[in-house]
Structures are given as C-alpha cells and as structure tokens.
C-alpha cells in the first residue's frame, strides 16, 4: 500500500522519489514472488533502515495490519533510536507498533470476511489512510491550488495536456497561451501560471521563492505589484 502511494507522489506533487524511500520485507524481489517468511526477520528491518541513515528531521511511517510484524516493528524501533519520528498505522488496537509510535493511527476494520485475509478490509483502509495523508501533505506543501495539482511533473502526453489545462484555468488564458508559458518555464506549472499572468520567468521565480512555493500568495503579490 505504501509503495503504491509513494510511486504517485512524484508525478502528482513533484516530490522527488529520494525523499520518500520505501522499505518492505524481501525487497524488490518480493514484488513478483512474495515469500511469507521474509517479514519475520527483524534484523533485515533494522539493517534496511540503517542504510537510509534517518535523522531527527525524518518521519518514518510504518504500516502493519497486525501491528506485530517483526520486520516493521524493528524498523520502528530503529527509527526511534535514530531520533526520527515514527507514525504507526495498524488495524489492531494496543499492538506493538502502535504502542511505540509517536503518532499511532488505528484503523479498526474488525474481522475480515475471509478470516486473516488482511489484503481485504485492512489493506483497503490502509490505502485510504495513506492517500489522505499524502494528499494533506501535498496541500500543506503548497502543491495544490483550487483543487489543481500545481506541482505535477508533466512527463507524458496526458500530464502535459493536463498541465496546459490547469495553467489556462488558473491564469484565465487560452490553452495556446498556457502551452507557451509552460515552454518558457521548462514545464514547471507554478511559474508558468505567473508567466501566463504577465510575469517574467525571473519575477515568477522571485515571487514563488518569497511565498515558500505557495501559488496563492505569489499570485496575490503579483496583483499587488501591478496595482
């Protein structure tokens, strides 16, 4: 669930993949051949996290339906020892993971329709929780404006067309002008919106730097300058 959500963060919010590394028992090999025993090796969790060298500035999000998976609990313990904050997401109250987490999120989905099949209700609830968290994160970082993903990375035709539409919608111009503005900003949406509103690329960069990357105050500052 965490991997599925993280893979979308770069395209949706422009968050570099290196900022959201994902660890899972068994590593890449387990994506096509999931072995049930790999999650029982706590030492692998400790070692995998150590390679990322977390600090007090990091948040480590640990997800386990039972809250008792040795691999996941070991990562949480190692993260705490490194000074990082730990968010634990589990479907079992008072589990080991939730007990040691700084932020404990209980998804009380109850018994599965097929006993023990946590890929059903538990996993679905985890996906929803992670979607909510990452979306709120994108909003707080200033990557959403009026319901538009204004920090998307337009790396394919579909996203390039979406970028042009949202620049046109926010800047109040036609798509031709939006495409021109995107061309002048190397496809970066936020500065393209300001350019489409009449700013130079340098001015757009200055306004966004002053606003901490948030588009609304940058647009307001641009309007104030014009008046």
Q: What is the pLDDT of residues 86-97, one digit of tens each?
A: 999 999 999 999
pLDDT value for 83? 98
pLDDT at 225 over 80: no
CA proximity to 1, closest of 94, 82, 105 = 105
Which tokens is 172 given?
Answer: 């109040």
Q: Are residues 81 and 163 in the same domain?
A: no
CA proximity to 89, closest of 76, 78, 79, 80 = 76
pLDDT at 223 over 90: no
Domain end position, chosen among 123, 140, 157: 140
Q: Are residues 84 and 37 in the same domain?
A: yes
- What confidence tier does 27 reach under pLDDT thresholds 50, 70, 90? confident
Which tokens is 12 given?
Answer: 């949706």
pLDDT at 58 over 70: yes
Q: Are residues 101 and 135 in the same domain?
A: yes
pLDDT at 19 over 60: yes
pLDDT value for 98? 98
Mean pLDDT of the chain: 94
Element (H, E) at 136: helix 121-140
Neighbours of 4 (CB within 10 A): 12
**What is the count of structural domains for the chain?**
2
pLDDT value for 18? 92
Q: Are residues 115 and 215 in the same domain?
A: no
Q: Are residues 19 and 86 in the same domain?
A: yes
pLDDT at 167 over 90: yes
Which tokens is 16 given?
Answer: 């570099």
Share of the chain above pLDDT 70, in %: 99
Which tokens is 15 given?
Answer: 């968050």
Q: Are residues 121 and 211 in the same domain?
A: no
**CA gap 71, 39 in Å, rounded:** 5
CA proximity to 163, closest of 139, 141, 137, 183 = 183
How many residues belong to the chain? Answer: 227
Q: Are residues 33 and 119 in the same domain?
A: yes
Domain end position, chosen among 107, 125, 140: 140
CATH number at residue 155: 1.10.8.1080
Domain end position, chosen among 107, 140, 173: 140
Q: Are residues 102 and 179 in the same domain?
A: no
Over residues 35-43, mean pLDDT: 88
pLDDT value for 16? 92
**CA gap 73, 42 in Å, rounded:** 8
- pTM to 2 decimal places: 0.86
Q: Are residues 39 and 108 in the same domain?
A: yes
pLDDT value for 120? 87
Over residues 17-28, mean pLDDT: 90
- What confidence tier does 35 reach under pLDDT thresholds 50, 70, 90? confident
pLDDT value for 111? 86
CA proximity to 58, closest of 102, 96, 5, 94 = 102
**Which one has a higher pLDDT value, 217 or 33?**
217
Q: Are residues 114 and 170 in the same domain?
A: no
Domain span at residue 180 reads 144-226
Q: Are residues 94 and 175 in the same domain?
A: no
Positions marked catalytic: 8, 39
Q: Are residues 149 and 134 in the same domain?
A: no
CA proximity to 141, closest of 12, 54, 5, 23 = 12
**Are 91 and 66 contacting, i.e. CB atoms less than 8 angstroms apart?**
yes
**CA gap 63, 14 in Å, rounded:** 24
pLDDT value for 30? 81
CATH number at residue 64: 3.40.50.10490
Q: What is the pLDDT of residues 102-118, one digit of tens each?
A: 999 999 998 888 888 88
pLDDT value for 47? 97
Q: What is the pLDDT of residues 141-153, one digit of tens each?
A: 999 999 999 999 9
């Amino acid at each position: 669930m965490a991997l599925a959500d993280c893979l979308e963060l770069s395209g949706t919010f422009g968050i570099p993949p290196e900022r959201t590394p994902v660890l899972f028992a068994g590593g890449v090999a387990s994506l096509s051949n999931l072995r049930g025993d790999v999650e029982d090796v706590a030492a692998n969790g400790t070692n995998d996290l150590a390679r990322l060298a977390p600090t007090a500035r990091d948040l480590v999000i640990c997800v386990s339906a039972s809250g008792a998976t040795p691999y996941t609990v070991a990562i949480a313990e190692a993260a705490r020892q490194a000074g990082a904050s730990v968010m634990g997401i589990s479907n079992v109250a008072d589990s080991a993971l939730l007990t040691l987490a700084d932020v404990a999120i209980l998804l009380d989905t109850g018994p599965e329709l097929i006993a023990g099949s946590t890929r059903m209700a538990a996993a679905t609830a985890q996906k929803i929780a992670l979607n909510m968290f990452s979306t709120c994160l994108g909003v707080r970082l200033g990557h959403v404006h009026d319901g538009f993903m204004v920090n998307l990375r337009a790396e394919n035709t579909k996203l390039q067309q979406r970028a042009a539409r949202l620049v046109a919608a926010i800047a109040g111009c036609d798509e031709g002008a939006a495409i021109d503005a995107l061309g002048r900003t190397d496809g970066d949406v936020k500065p393209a919106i300001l350019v489409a509103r009449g700013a130079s690329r340098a001015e757009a960069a200055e306004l966004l730097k002053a606003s901490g990357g948030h588009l609304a105050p940058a647009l307001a500052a641009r309007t104030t300058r014009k008046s």
